[in-house]
């Protein structure tokens, strides 16, 4: 019997506020240091490709010395130059990383960070405001109070977390009277921890959307062999399996790596990070990849370096 391909979710509700996002998102981490025209071309390519959630953070653009807020400011300039783009996107940003501190989720800090993000992004409301990384020193009830105040004042529509463990998520959720709508872990067919650490199960339990950061392992999965310093045998084995499937569908390896994530029922939305409009468009080749259950486990087994038990 031929196997049925694994299904993808194509319109994904973000909480119960009516916001719906596409099956892939676009991220602005590598966004700074360019001009408004180039940045606009990337955002337009992403929106046209159905990547309706645009993810950024106040820290993006920081190079260790300066640049805090640069990626948000550039996106703000894009929106100022072409205001119609704002209505076409679900605008997501993050706060809570404070260079040199390094994490701060105290109520005063989060509220002022969010207000600064609003100014840089040149917008009245942030659709999804995420805590970038857990701050071990701020109690969950204080983080919740800040998020509640931001939501009540209309500065943010929904809230999410990034790099939180399931237990940290639950502790924060216990102090909120509205749901956290998203989690943002690192997840790729190279970084498979979310399959095992409870993040994806938590999404199925609570209805949160999983936004997968670095879905190509920050480029490691796609860089040409000669450029890779580490030629890890497991990475090479994984690449071989991805390439075999890519050949069957006449797509590139990246498309198979994105398809692997989207086949998970959590649902999982890969945040595409390329700076090239052509690669943004090519990412949607992932929809032509009809992974079977066997393909999916072949990829996982290659990553683990062993058959499933």
Annotated active-site positions, please? 60
Q: How far is the CB of 199 from ligand NAP (least distance, A)?
A: 13
Please give the residues from 284 up to 303 whose contact with ligand NAP meets the rule CB under 6 A: none
Give the Cα separation of 241 and 243 in Å (integer).
5
Calculate the alpha carbon distances from 2 to 103, 247, 266, 292 in Å: 51, 19, 25, 9
Q: How far is the CB of 270 from ligand NAP (least distance, A)?
A: 7
Task: Indicate which single residue of 27, 134, 160, 194 sits in contact with ligand NAP (rule: CB under 6 A).
Answer: 27
Q: How many CB atoms lie under 10 A from the CB of residue 67?
A: 16
Task: Indicate which single residue of 117, 182, 274, 284 sits in contact with ligand NAP (rule: CB under 6 A).
Answer: 274
Task: Indicate which single residue of 9, 17, 30, 148 sits in contact with ligand NAP (rule: CB under 6 A).
Answer: 30
Decide if residue 277 touches ligand NAP (CB under 6 A).
no
Instruction: Copy the structure tokens of residue 149.
Output: 């105040």
Q: Three-state DSSP class for 248?
A: helix
Q: Which is nearer to ligand NAP, 98 or 162 (CB)?
A: 162
How many residues make up the chain in this entry?
309
Task: Indicate which single residue of 17, 34, 206, 275 sits in contact with ligand NAP (rule: CB under 6 A).
Answer: 275
Please give the residues from 104 up to 133 whose contact with ligand NAP meets the rule CB under 6 A: none
b/e 154-181 (16+ beta carbons within 10 angstroms → b): ebbbbbbbbbbbbebbebbbeebebebb
Q: Which is nearer to ligand NAP, 99 or 152 (CB)?
A: 99
* CB burial of residue 287 (10 Å; 0-12, 13-18, 19+): middle
Name, in order, each residue with C-beta under 8 angstroms of 257's C-beta and a sequence gap of 6 or more: 188, 189, 215, 216, 221, 222, 242
Q: Which of 55, 11, 23 shows the shortest CA–CA distance to 263? A: 23
b/e 76-93 (16+ beta carbons within 10 angstroms → b): bbbbeeeeebbeebbbbb
Decide if residue 252 touches ligand NAP (CB under 6 A).
yes
Decide if residue 271 touches ligand NAP (CB under 6 A).
yes
Q: How far is the CB of 1 from ligand NAP (least distance, A)?
A: 34
| Local structure of residue 156 (DSSP, 8 states) | E
Q: Which is nearer to ligand NAP, 207 or 277 (CB)?
A: 277
Task: Indicate which single residue of 50, 166, 219, 244 sits in contact with ligand NAP (rule: CB under 6 A).
Answer: 219
Q: How far is the CB of 240 from ligand NAP (least distance, A)?
A: 17
Q: Which is nearer to ligand NAP, 153 or 241 (CB)?
A: 241
Q: How far is the CB of 250 from ligand NAP (least distance, A)?
A: 15
**What are residue 81's phi and psi, to 5 degrees?**
-75, -30
Judged by CB under 6 A, the number of residues near ligand NAP is 25
Decide if residue 198 touches ligand NAP (CB under 6 A).
no
Q: Which residues form the interface with ligand NAP (CB under 6 A)?
A: 27-30, 55, 162-163, 184, 213-219, 222, 252, 254, 271-276, 279
């Amino acid at each position: 019997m031929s196997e049925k391909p694994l299904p993808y979710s194509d319109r994904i509700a973000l909480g119960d506020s009516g916001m719906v996002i596409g099956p892939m998102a676009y991220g602005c981490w590598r966004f700074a240091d360019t001009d408004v025209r180039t940045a606009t071309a990337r955002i337009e390519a992403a929106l046209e490709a159905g990547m309706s959630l645009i993810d950024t953070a106040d820290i993006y653009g920081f190079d260790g010395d300066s640049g805090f807020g640069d990626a948000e400011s550039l996106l703000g300039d894009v929106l100022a130059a072409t205001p119609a783009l704002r209505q076409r996107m679900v605008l997501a940003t993050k706060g809570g990383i404070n260079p040199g501190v390094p994490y701060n989720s105290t109520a005063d800090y989060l509220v002022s960070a969010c207000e600064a993000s609003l100014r840089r992004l040149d917008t009245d409301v942030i659709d999804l405001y995420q805590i970038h990384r857990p701050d071990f020193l701020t109690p969950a009830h204080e983080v919740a109070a800040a998020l509640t105040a931001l939501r009540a004042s209309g500065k943010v529509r929904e809230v999410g977390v990034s790099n939180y463990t399931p237990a940290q998520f639950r502790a924060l959720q216990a102090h909120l009277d509205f749901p956290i709508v998203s989690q943002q872990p690192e997840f790729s067919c190279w970084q498979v921890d979310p399959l095992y650490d409870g993040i994806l199960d938590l999404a199925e339990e609570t209805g949160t959307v999983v936004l997968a950061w670095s879905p190509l392992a920050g480029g490691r999965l796609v860089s040409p062999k000669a450029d890779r310093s580490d030629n890890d045998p497991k990475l090479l084995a994984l690449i071989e399996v991805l390439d075999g499937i890519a050949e069957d569908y006449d797509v590139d390896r990246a498309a198979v790596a994105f398809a692997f994530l989207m086949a998970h029922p959590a649902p999982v939305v890969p945040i595409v990070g390329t700076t090239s409009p052509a690669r943004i468009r090519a990412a949607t080749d992932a929809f032509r990849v009809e992974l079977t259950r066997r393909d999916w486990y072949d990829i996982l087994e290659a990553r683990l370096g062993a058959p499933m038990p």
